[in-house]
Each structure stands twice: as C-alpha cells, then as structure tokens.
Amino acid sequence: MLARNRIYNMYCVAGMKLLDSGSVDLTVTSPPYDNLRMYKGYSFDFDDVAAELFRVIKDGGVVVWVVNDATVMGSETGTSFRQALRFKEIGFLLHDTMVYLKDSCPYPETTRYYPSFEYMFVLVKGKRIGTVHLIADKPNKTSGDRITGTERKADGTVKYMSAVEKHTGRKVKPFGVRTNVWHYGMGFMKSTTDRCAYKHPAIFPEKLAHDHIISWSNPGDVVLDPFMGSGTVAKMARLARRDYIGFEISPEYCAIAEERLKCT
C-alpha cells in the first residue's frame, strides 16, 4: 500500500497495482480525451485502467470519469460512450450520466451548435452506492409555500398532494437538490485562482472536483486521481478533509501539482 497524501510520478496502472484491493473510497478523474490534447505524448490503455479502478475501489465506492470526444473526419469518436459501456461490462453500475456545462466553448464551428459540455460518468462498484450527500443548492421558486402538486397513480387517477400535505403543514424548502447538469466557469482565473496551475493545458474547475468529493465521500476517506495533472483533485480533497492518492506520468505536471499543494 502506498502512503496517502502524495502524488506519484508514475504510469497510473503501475501505481494502482501498488494499492490494496478495495482501499479507495472515491475516484475523481479526467483522463486524456482522444487526441484533444497531447499531454507531451503520454497515453494509457483504457482496459488496464478500468480493471485496476474496479479492483482498488471499495464495494459501493464511486468512480467519476470526466470525458469528452474528439471530432475526427466529421464525426465524434464516441470514445466516451464506449468507455461508459465497457465500465458496465466489467461490473460497474452506470449510476448517473452527468453533464459538466461550461461557460465558454472552443471557436465555433459553422455546421454545429457550440460544443459546451463534457460527460461526467458516475460509476458505482457493487449493487448499490455507499455514500451519497446530494447537494441542495437550487433555489426553490415556491420556497415557503405549502407543498402542492399531483401524483399519477398506477390506475391513472391523479392524487392531489396538497390535500395530503395540509395535514402535515410541510412547506417548500428554500433550496432543493440540484439537477445532474453542473455549470462551472472555466478558463483563466475561473477554474482556479492558482496561477501556477495554468502551466497545465487542461485543468478542470476546482469546484467540479469539490462538488463530487463532498457528494460521494466522507471526511477521512481516500480519494484517488490516476490522471492528476495540475493537482486539482488533491487540493480539493485536502480542503474537504479527505486523504488523496494521485498518479501523474509527467514530471513537469507533478511539479506543478506540488507547487500548488504547497499553498493549500
């Protein structure tokens, strides 16, 4: 077993082989997507990574896999979908296909709508998810009102909830659980205010990592990122009082992550 709270400059499959089976509570990661970025030419074998992720994650643990597809010869590759289905074949539940909606997008194409999102596949090992703390930060328009609404019963008739709820006096709360589309600012000084992080070409927003970490883990849990890049997941795990383990194949990117963690 490797020491926690370190980022190892290693090929992630070799690194994960040094972890005990079932020793990781949560993985939040974003692998290289097709050929969208070169990352100094480093690549990985998806099947090997998926098999090791399945082995090291504990029963009921979650893997959040953030991906997108390249467009090649006029067609999206569909790699993201193939990976999601492969994860299912090796035993993960595809718990939720979530969307990371960005506030900016690449130079617009003339034949397509502006590409503005990436997938966040939330995968679970075992029969059911272990830890769930859904974030309830969506303002309810009817906050404070008595709960109303209808419910369609199996025989097709409609039951008015208000008639039931008036006896309990339940009111609509100020905030409800958010949807599975998460919207973040991205780009310079929006993904993070750590200037050194931008030496990496593809950081994801700190808030994205934070929100998954608090949703699917508890303080003291182990959070893994096998493609650590600039150290976003390590930083946000530490701030949320979780332990982390990271792998990153590029020594230059490891140095960026270490620099970033020094100030955290």
User: Which residues are near ligand SAM by CB under 6 A?
Assistant: 11-12, 30-32, 39, 42-44, 200, 202-204, 227, 229-230, 232, 247-250, 253
Which of 8, 20, 12, 81 lies closest to 44, judged by CA? 12
* CB nearer to ligand SAM: pick between 237 and 249: 249
From the CB of 42, what's the least distance to ligand SAM, in Å? Answer: 4
Helix ranges restricted to H, 120-229: 161-165, 206-216
Alpha-carbon distance 176 to 199, whole Å? 38
From the CB of 121, what's the least distance to ligand SAM, in Å? Answer: 15
* CB nearer to ligand SAM: pick between 66 and 130: 66
* CB nearer to ligand SAM: pick between 27 and 130: 27
Q: State phi, psi for 242 to the nearest 5 degrees.
A: -105, 160
Q: State phi, psi for 196 to the nearest 5 degrees.
A: -65, -25
Burial annotation 202-236 (CB, 10 A radius, 16+ → b, else e): ebbbbbbbbbbbbbbbeeebbbbbbbbbbbbbbbb
From the CB of 106, what's the least distance to ligand SAM, in Å? Answer: 15
* CB nearer to ligand SAM: pick between 221 and 225: 225
From the CB of 244, what's the least distance to ligand SAM, in Å? Answer: 12
From the CB of 94, what's the least distance to ligand SAM, in Å? Answer: 21
Determine the distance from the C-alpha atom of residue 74 to the mean position of all C-alpha atoms in its chain, rounded to a whole number. Answer: 28
* CB nearer to ligand SAM: pick between 218 and 250: 250
